[in-house]
Amino acid sequence: MHNNVPTSFPERSGGDGFPPTPRRRHTWAIWVAAAAGTLVLLLAASAALILFIKLSGEIRHAHKLTLLNREYEFGELADACGINSLGYSVQDDGESIRFDDAAKFEPNRASASEIECFASSIGAPDSLEFKIGNTRAVDGTLNERWKDHQATWTYHPESGLNIVFERTDSPPTLAEFLRGER
Q: What is the pLDDT of residues 110-146, one digit of tens each?
A: 999 999 999 999 999 999 999 999 999 999 999 999 9
Question: Residue 13 falls within a domain, yes or no?
Answer: no
Cα 132 to Cα 44, 72, 85, 122, 170: the distances in Å are 63, 25, 22, 16, 26
How many domains in the chain? 1
Question: Residue 85 falls within a domain, yes or no?
Answer: yes
Question: Residue 143 falls within a domain, yes or no?
Answer: yes
Torsion angle in degrees (nearest 10) through CA of 54, 56, 61, 64:
-170
Question: Residue 64 falls within a domain, yes or no?
Answer: yes
Using CB atoms within 10 Å of the CB of residue 134, give its burial: 0 to 12 exposed, 13 to 18 middle, 19+ buried: exposed
* Domain housing 169: 60-176
- State how beta strands 89-91 and 96-102 pair: antiparallel
Confidence category of residue 22, pLDDT binned at 50, 70, 90: low
Question: Residue 75 falls within a domain, yes or no?
Answer: yes
Q: Is the pTM of this model over 0.85?
A: no
